[in-house]
């Protein structure tokens, strides 16, 4: 596998209503508290299930990163398949709900580099979730990853911050990597190329109308 390979799934609809929506961190956290979380998929996205073997390539013992992980069930999927999983999420509520709903015992400890924040770790040691802003993450000694699963994180970032976000994601990648991108609404190929093209060779696995179902 070429270490510069990036795999890209684009989910899109014929609407760009959310394209330039700007949310503060407080508004983002309010969505969790108020249950305004239609973007969360309890059973996990079907496209990942369909292309899971392509993403994993039969390799175990690899590190997978989940930006803006919410309480996504895919973290448990990857951990159950022998991968070490690390996520970052601003909402402590949803991190706790993830471990509870997946019947995982866990511990929590402060992130020393970022005062007032925590990291939650499963008792098995193969799932960690950092409760902090994605933009504070470079201050931690989190290491690099073999895979990134970006389901909706890119489009959740305010448009003006996406270049900074992409640079952080690219800094977390090891020499050989796969970055699977699955935005829940349309992102132009040119924008993906602008953000990730300096390191990634971008391939589209599939395009679907996410609103048809």
* 95 in a known ligand binding site: no
Q: Is 29 annotated as a binding residue?
A: yes
94 annotated among ligand-binding-site residues: no
Phi (first) and psi of residue 195, to 5 degrees: -80, -40
SS3 per-residue string spanning 61-90? CCEEEECCCCCCCHHHHHHHCCCEEEEECC
Q: For 63-66, which contacts have Cβ atoms below 8 Å and span 24 or more sequence positions?
A: 63/143, 63/144, 63/145, 63/146, 63/147, 63/174, 64/145, 64/146, 64/147, 64/148, 64/149, 65/145, 65/147, 65/148, 65/149, 65/172, 66/148, 66/149
Residue 30 annotated as binding site: yes
Say whether 76 counts as a known binding-site residue: no
Q: Are 62 and 108 in contact (CB under 8 A)?
A: no
**Is 72 known as a binding-site position?**
no
194 is in an annotated binding site: no
Is 36 marked as binding a ligand?
yes
Integer Cα distance of 148 and 174 in angstroms:
10
10 Å Cβ neighbour count for 10?
20
Say if residue 77 carries a ligand binding annotation.
Answer: no
Beta bridge partners of 121: 107, 128
To the question of whether residue 31 is assigned a binding role by annotation, the answer is: yes
- Does the annotation place 150 within a ligand binding site? no
Does the annotation flag 151 for ligand binding? yes
39 is in an annotated binding site: yes
On whether 119 is known to bind a ligand per the annotation, the reply is: no
What is the distance between the alpha carbons of residues 64 and 144, in angstroms, rounded to a whole number? 9
- Is 60 assigned a ligand-binding role in the annotation? no
Q: Which residues are paired to 178 by β-bridges?
A: 147
Q: Which residues are annotated as a binding site?
A: 28-39, 68, 89, 133-134, 151
Q: Which residues are annotated as a binding site for S-adenosyl-L-methionine?
A: 28-39, 68, 89, 133-134, 151
């Amino acid at each position: 596998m070429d270490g510069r390979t990036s795999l890209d799934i684009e989910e899109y609809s014929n609407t760009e209503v959310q394209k330039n929506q700007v949310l503060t961190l407080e508004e983002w956290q309010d969505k969790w508290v108020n249950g305004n979380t239609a973007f969360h998929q309890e059973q996990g996205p079907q496209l990942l299930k369909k292309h899971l073997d392509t993403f994993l390539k039969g390799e175990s013992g690899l590190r997978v990163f989940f930006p803006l992980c919410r309480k996504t069930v895919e973290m448990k999927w990857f951990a159950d398949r022998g991968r070490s999983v690390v996520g970052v999420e601003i909402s402590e509520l949803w991190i706790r709900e993830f471990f509870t709903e997946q019947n995982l015992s866990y511990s929590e400890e402060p992130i020393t580099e970022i005062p007032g924040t925590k990291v939650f770790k499963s008792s098995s040691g193969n799932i960690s979730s950092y409760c902090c802003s994605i933009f504070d993450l470079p201050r931690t000694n989190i290491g690099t990853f073999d895979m990134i699963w970006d389901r909706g994180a890119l489009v959740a970032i305010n448009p003006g911050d996406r270049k900074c976000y992409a640079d952080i994601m690219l800094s977390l990648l090891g020499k050989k990597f796969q970055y699977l991108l699955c935005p829940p609404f349309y992102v132009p190929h040119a924008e993906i190329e602008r953000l990730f093209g300096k390191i990634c060779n971008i391939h589209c696995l599939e395009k679907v109308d996410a609103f048809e179902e």
